[in-house]
Homo-oligomer: A and B are copies of this chain.
Amino acid sequence: MYRTHTCGELNIHDVNTIVTLSGWVQRSRDLGGMTFLDLRDRYGITQLVFNMETDPELCKKARKLGREYVVQAIGTVTERSNKNKNIPTGEIEIVVDNLTVLNPAEVPPFTIETNTDGGDELRMKFRYLDLRRDPLKKNLLLRHKLAQEVRSYLNSMNFIEIETPYLIKSTPEGARDFVVPSRMNQGQFYALPQSPQTFKQLLMISGYDRYYQLARCFRDEDLRADRQPEFTQIDCEMSFVVQDDVLNTFEGLVKYLFLKLKGLDLRDTFPRIPYDEAIRDYGTDKPDLRFEMKIKEITSLAKNQGFRIFDQAEYIGGICASSCADYSRKQLDKLTSFVTQPQIGAKGLVFVKFNEDGSVKSSVDKFFDSEALNKWKEVFQAKAGDLLLILAGDSTATLTALAELRLEMANQMGLRDNKLFVPLWVVDFPLLEWNDESGRYHAKHHPFTSPKSEDLRFLESDPSKVHADAYDLVINGVEIGGGSIRIHDKQMQQKMFRHLGFTDELAETQFGFLMNAFKYGAPPHGGIALGFDRLAALFGGSESIRDFIAFPKNNSGRDIMIESPSIISNNQLNELNLKVRQ
């Protein structure tokens, strides 16, 4: 037996008990004739004491221990004279009688402390050491708790957890599929799922009514900082539901999680904002609603007034930054640099200051007098002391740039309080999205999304006008998940595939099993998938999902700890009947 107790549980009630503890040496301090050693395990830290006078040999042994040594100590729980109120075990210490080194440790390549001196690359290579640090341990424990609470809620709502296969079939939009060569079926490949979409729909057709799974998903795409080639989603599907049933159920889940994990009681119904309105008011389909600062359009007021940049613009609009009229030239120049950087791409920034003294000062005074500017003021409902920031150009690009500017101003104004959580639903997404490159429509959500029945009349004449029963959950400007009501009718599904440029033959080869299934009594159904890694990061107060995944990959999709991917033997390639091109 290696221990009678963990390093996190002994307290004043255990005084005089003889205990055995095992753990890691966090650090040690020699004070006069005493050596104090902090012994660490997952549960906490307990102080060990060695006395040079009473047991010099043992004390010397203790003084030789390095950081991260694994040791076992037997001793007596004793009340401390110098108590540490910050930790649960801070009132006691162990006067050690017997000390065993279970495993020595070399000096770690970086310090195992909350604030470490290790760089990113080094910590990724020694991830198993990085995972010892408190912040990462807290993240993984939070993730664990989140998983249990998600299941607890969904179980209570009659959802059943069903595992779907990971070895599935590559789809035509398969550029992003990871494929897996089959040895038993040579020349053929499985694909790893980008999501369990078709399987969960089949489960609805099978009558399982409410399904969920914390499913691993795989996407072989170029990775941005916040993407991983494998990630986890809370994948759900429900039968006999309309959009509101899904939203209400998962609004319930999110509220439950906030209560259980953050102690926050979100009472209000989440706003449900149509996609078009989100774009109009916030320039994005994932608005941060912790603050207002809506985008306002002033195209009709400002165009054709002699200012060339406005006159050539399809769209003119901006935001009103409360009480920012005192922004300096330097601050405004910085904002101009911000919006004109290539990632944002605006041509320039127009400002209007409504000073506290009632005067108006703008960067376009040459073209607009104070009467004109006061008309803008009305649109923005600006007050004395406010600052208008205006961009102009193509509609889409300008709204996107304004969305970024809005976030930047909110940052500067301290409006993005990370203790505050404001969830919303964005609903009524467009069904299709024109893609210039491929010269055809792509599904905005995916090919199984149901068009809104009232928009069906446009499906042939103007597909871009058709909205879908599709929705996203957004919290603090982060897209946490999304879903839709699905098509459950074979003819409609066929029609949809045609609109997406599938030949009937290809649709049949790829999704024949699903369309066939629709013939045998498919119920109306819909669902949602929430990003589990992202949700964990949100609750953990971080923007990086990587800190919430035990063994993540880097931006090149590599695990630099195990050195993967790697070459495989010719033998293995031969068995798979494959050749790597030279």
Contact = CB atoms under 8 A, between A and B. Distances in A.
Contact of A218 (B166, B203, B569): B166
Given A128-B202, A174-B569, A175-B575, A102 B524 contact: yes
Given A137-B207, A140-B162, A550-B164, A69 B170 contact: no
A415 interface: no
Nearest to A549: B163
A179 B519 contact: no
A493 to B, nearest CB: 12
A559 B168 contact: yes
A359 interface: no
A24 interface: yes
A245 B192 CA distance: 38
Q: Is the interface of A mostly helix, strand, loop or mixed?
A: loop
A564 B190 contact: yes
A182 interface: yes
Contact of A184 (B137, B218, B220, B240): B220
Interface in A37-72: 40-43, 68-70
A169 B1 contact: no
Contact of A42 (B189, B208, B518, B522): B208
A105 interface: yes
A488 interface: yes
A22 B184 contact: no
A178 B179 contact: no
Interface string A116-135: 00000000001111011000
A206 interface: yes
B189 A70 contact: no
Contact of A163 (B43, B519, B550): B550
Interface in A534-569: 549-551, 553, 556-559, 561-569
Contacts of A170: 566, 568, 572
Contacts of A229: 167
A523 interface: yes
A232 interface: yes
Nearest to A212: B144
Interface stretch (A147-155, A343-351, A368-376): A147-155
Nearest to A66: B521
Contact of A523 (B22, B218, B575): B22
A188 interface: yes
A199 interface: yes
A68 B1 CA distance: 60
A160 B183 contact: no
A140 to B, nearest CB: 6
Contacts of A577: 580-581
B559 A189 contact: no
A200 B245 CA distance: 40
Interface string A211-253: 0000010101011000001101000000011100100000000
Contacts of A520: 68, 105-106, 108, 126, 128-129
Contact of A181 (B40, B167, B179): B179
Given A189-B567, A567-B189, A578-B580, A161 B144 contact: yes
Q: Nearest 6 pairs between A and B by C-beta?
A: A105-B521, A131-B206, A2-B240, A169-B564, A188-B565, A68-B521
26 contacts: A22-B523, A42-B207, A43-B209, A68-B520, A69-B521, A70-B521, A70-B523, A103-B523, A105-B520, A105-B521, A108-B520, A128-B517, A131-B207, A140-B160, A141-B160, A143-B162, A144-B160, A144-B162, A166-B192, A182-B220, A184-B222, A184-B223, A185-B557, A188-B565, A191-B564, A578-B578
Given A103-B522, A164-B550, A579-B579, 17 more contacts: A68-B520, A70-B521, A103-B523, A108-B520, A131-B206, A144-B162, A147-B161, A162-B550, A163-B549, A166-B218, A166-B230, A170-B572, A174-B568, A178-B190, A179-B572, A185-B558, A513-B562
